[in-house]
Amino acid sequence: MSRPPSVDQLARSLAHHGLPHPVLVEVARRAIALDRVDHADELARRRARRMLVPVINATGVLLHTNLGRAPLAVETAATYTNLELNLATGKRGSRQAAIGELLATACGAEAAMVVNNCAGAVLLTLAALAQGRGVAVGRGEMVEIGGGFRIPDVMNQSGAHLVEVGTTNRSRLSDYVAAAHAGSPSGPAVTSNPAAGLAMVLKVHRSNYKIVGFTEDVSVRELAASPDIAVPVVADIGSGLLDRSCPWLDGPPPGWLADEPAVRQTLGDGADLVLFSGDKLFGGPQAGIIAGRRDLVERCGHHPLARALRPGSLVIHALQQVTLAYLDRRGEDIPLWRMVAATTDELEQRSEAIVARIEARAGASQPAPLSITAGPTEAVPGGGTLPTVILPSHGLRVDGDITEQLRNRDRPIIARVEEASTVIDLRTVDRLDDAELTAALMSSCGQ
């Protein structure tokens, strides 16, 4: 048997993958241990592919959780910032102050703060405002989000006590009133600690499923207006539409957003706090935002969990840029809203232009091995939002499944398969990537 190469020699032969030498050493050792030195190049390629890399989203899913939800381009210089420095006094300041003021203005709230995600916002709010006390939640709103995390489990970790209200399909104002009176001499004991009483009502938006048919629900407006519910009403609206009127768009708001709860309108309906995600319909980085009454936001900010859940400077910087775009009504500077605002006519023109370029390259006498056509497609919001909404779109359809070929490119292209054809939906592809997409399709077709 031939002697295997040295680990260092083999690692150096893999330098073209652009990985640090210590990583290539690990790859080389693995290849030698497997007695597959000839396989080392492929092992290095696979190792590089496991890192975070930019991809082209051609799935038609605008907020694709596996692809980072809302796309975001924020540039920041390699410099220090006044993250926790008060420039007026020269003393230590709060990282929440500036971004909180901006978000409060954008939301129409008294105050706002930021944590790492919406589940963190729920956890912090419950811990700060309801630890050891009851929180009323409609039975039809005890949602499970991605990864198996459930509202009752988050509540349990916060130290609050779940008070189940109504039934799965029907909840009435009288159910919430009864929960608010729990622990009083005349009220029912519906928590594990009835003497502590009710601390808040939590309304949870069913963003990733629908309940239809024989249903009844209680709105935030009804709860906030009821004199019999003398506790804060907190709305976890999840997906984070800032304003139902979408003033940052040139035209009218998309019709498919009509039933989606929005931050400004929910606060206007009387919610004391609104909790929402930064990386869904808000179009920013992963974050959880708490907006509403100043005293309640301050109580959340002073809780010990606030430090454990606080965001870093990059998240705050990204949120600042996106919030400024909203306040300036520059919807075109928020990638999500550029994709939403694209008309099907625009997408059709791009689709047909790509097909024309491929056909021109192939030539009449050399037809492409695979058939590529332009045609209507259907996009979806994704990200656990608006589960029944379909967005008309346009794109390309390629005979057969070429998703693996597209995915294995230096810059992966992620597409979907329908009825034995590869569908490339242009609603989620930036116009600037059309040339790269065209080249990838030519390569897949043997051109």
Are 359 and 317 part of one and the same domain?
Answer: no
Any idea what DSSP says for residue 42? H
Are 156 and 254 part of one and the same domain?
Answer: yes
d(CA 336, CA 69): 9
- Which residues, in sequence order, are CB contacts of 80 under 8 Å at separation 6+? none
The partner residues of 203 in beta bridges, in order of sequence, read 235
Mean pLDDT of 115-132: 95
Domain count, the chain: 3
The answer to the question of residue 87 being in a domain is no
Average pLDDT of every residue of the chain: 90
Mean pLDDT of 25-30: 94
Position 2 confidence tier, pLDDT thresholds 50, 70, 90: low
Output the pLDDT for position 187.
Answer: 39
The answer to the question of residue 311 being in a domain is yes
Question: What sign does the dihedral 289-291-296-299 (CA atoms) show?
Answer: positive
d(CA 46, CA 42): 6
Q: Each residue of 223-232: pLDDT tens digit?
A: 999 999 989 9
Using an 8 Å Cβ cutoff, are 82 and 270 in contact? no
- Nearest CA among 266, 326, 332 for reference residue 99: 326
The answer to the question of residue 152 being in a domain is yes
Are 319 and 350 part of one and the same domain?
Answer: no
Output the pLDDT for position 23.
Answer: 95
The partner residues of 165 in beta bridges, in order of sequence, read 138
Are 43 and 146 part of one and the same domain?
Answer: no
Using an 8 Å Cβ cutoff, are 76 and 317 in contact? yes
Mean pLDDT of 225-248: 94
**DSSP calls for 369-389:** SS-EEEEEEEEB-BTTB-TT-
Are 374 and 256 part of one and the same domain?
Answer: no
Query: Both tokens of residue 356?
Result: 């024309």
Where residue 330 sits, what CATH number does that domain have?
3.40.640.10
User: Is it the case that residue 149 has pLDDT exceeding 90?
Assistant: no
- Which residues, in sequence order, are CB contacts of 37 under 8 Å at separation 6+? 4, 5, 10, 31
Output the pLDDT for position 192.
Answer: 43
Q: Can you list the alpha helix ranges (DSSP code H) found in 50-108?
A: 97-107
Bridging pattern class, strands 56-57 and 413-414: parallel
Output the pLDDT for position 94.
Answer: 94
Mean pLDDT of 307-331: 96
Output the pLDDT for position 367.
Answer: 56
Output the pLDDT for position 209.
Answer: 65
Using an 8 Å Cβ cutoff, are 323 and 317 in contact? no
For 201, list phi and psi in degrees, rounded to 5.
-110, 130
Mean pLDDT of 345-370: 81
The answer to the question of residue 76 being in a domain is no
Mean pLDDT of 53-77: 92
Taking each helix axis from N to C terminus, what angle separates 40-49 and 21-33, rounded to the nearest 10 degrees? Answer: 130
Q: Each residue of 249-290: pLDDT tens digit?
A: 998 999 999 889 999 999 999 999 999 999 999 999 999 999
Mean pLDDT of 183-190: 40
- Nearest CA among 125, 69, 56 for reference residue 271: 125
Q: Which residue has the tokens 């809780």?
A: 303
Are 203 and 250 part of one and the same domain?
Answer: yes
Terminal-residue alpha carbon distance, the chain: 43
Are 161 and 298 part of one and the same domain?
Answer: yes
Are 258 and 279 part of one and the same domain?
Answer: yes
Mean pLDDT of 345-349: 97
Share of the chain above pLDDT 90, in %: 74
Among 336, 362, 379, the domain boundary falls at 336
Are 356 and 435 part of one and the same domain?
Answer: yes
Structural domain containing residue 407:
56-70+342-444
Position 168 confidence tier, pLDDT thresholds 50, 70, 90: confident
The answer to the question of residue 367 being in a domain is yes
Output the pLDDT for position 334.
Answer: 95
- Which residues, in sequence order, are CB contacts of 404 under 8 Å at separation 6+? none
pTM, entire model: 0.90
Are 257 and 364 part of one and the same domain?
Answer: no
Output the pLDDT for position 368.
Answer: 54
Q: Each residue of 285-300: pLDDT tens digit?
A: 999 999 999 999 999 9
User: Is it the case that residue 189 has pLDDT exceeding 80?
Assistant: no
Are 376 and 281 part of one and the same domain?
Answer: no
